[in-house]
Amino acid sequence: MPVTGTTRVFATLGHPVAHVRTPQKMNALFESREYDGVMVAVDAAPGADLAAVFAGFRAMANFGGTVVTVPHKTSVVALCDRVSRRAEMAGAANVVRRERDGSLTGDLLDGVGFVAGLTGAEETVAGRRVFLAGAGGAASAIAFALAEAGAAHLTVANRSREKAGELAGRLSEAFPVLSVAVGGEPDGHDIVVNGTSLGLREGDPLPVDAGRLSSGMLVAEVVMMPEETALLREAAKVGCRVHSGRHMLEGQLEAIFAFLTGVA
């Protein structure tokens, strides 16, 4: 559809944004639904630049909202006027909608998309032991969604053990029957998830010790580009089932569309 004066503008907000694929996916969805909208990538550094961009969002009457990616998912919560309960519990948001009065509403759909992606790949979460690398925005969303989906145990490992402990504490409070541990290694788990941005850049260290992976495990990514990360390559070598980050985006596209546009 042509971009005109009536076209509603949306964004994918991150830093950097060269790797993002959400605008392409959403613009194709707009086209298929005959929705008069366009999504562009917006690169804003953390701190004052991010706050200035949010002030601009509020002032743009034809702005519909933004998808939020690395490294802003936790920072944007404080810049919203309101957030959903799941965004509040996880302390992160990955979608923000501009309301007609210029106020901003945040929600967290990463976990919804991640679990939907697993389901679409015929993988089961209920009753499984999960090792999660990371405790940031995406990792927090995935942790709560895995708990909601019936995971039996969740180990949270993060470079900052304090941050991992905070996430584990929120999980235990929300899901008292869930077995939760902090730190450790991936062996002894059924599903291993990279919830960090490690793998996005060439030469990044692996988010987990590949020597602790074994056949029979499912190893899943949140990194979307490259689709085959170093972690997934190492996991495939030892016979693990691998699950790329694109499944998380594809699993939440419909939910993102509905949230940002208000069209079911």
Return the pLDDT at 264: 77
Is residue 3 situated within a structural domain?
no
Residue 25: domain span: 8-108
Of these residues, 25, 73, 163, 237, which one is catalytic? 73
* Total domains, the chain: 2
Do the strands 8-14 and 37-43 form a parallel or antiparallel pair, or are they unpaired?
parallel
Q: Residue 231 maps to which CATH number?
A: 3.40.50.720
Is residue 263 situated within a structural domain?
no
**Residues 103 and 127 reside in one and the same domain:** no
Residue type, 210: A
Q: Which residues of the chain have pLDDT under 70?
A: none
d(C-alpha 115, C-alpha 139), whole Å: 12
**Residues 206 and 232 reside in one and the same domain:** yes
**Residues 125 and 77 reside in one and the same domain:** no
Residue type, 101: D
Is residue 26 situated within a structural domain?
yes
Q: Residue 84 maps to which CATH number?
A: 3.40.50.10860
The pTM of the full predicted model, rounded to 2 decimals, is: 0.83
Q: pLDDT tens-digit profile of 194-227?
A: 999 999 988 999 999 999 999 999 999 999 889 9
Q: pLDDT tens-digit profile of 22-62?
A: 999 999 999 999 999 999 999 999 999 999 999 999 999 99
Q: Is 163 a catalytic residue?
A: no
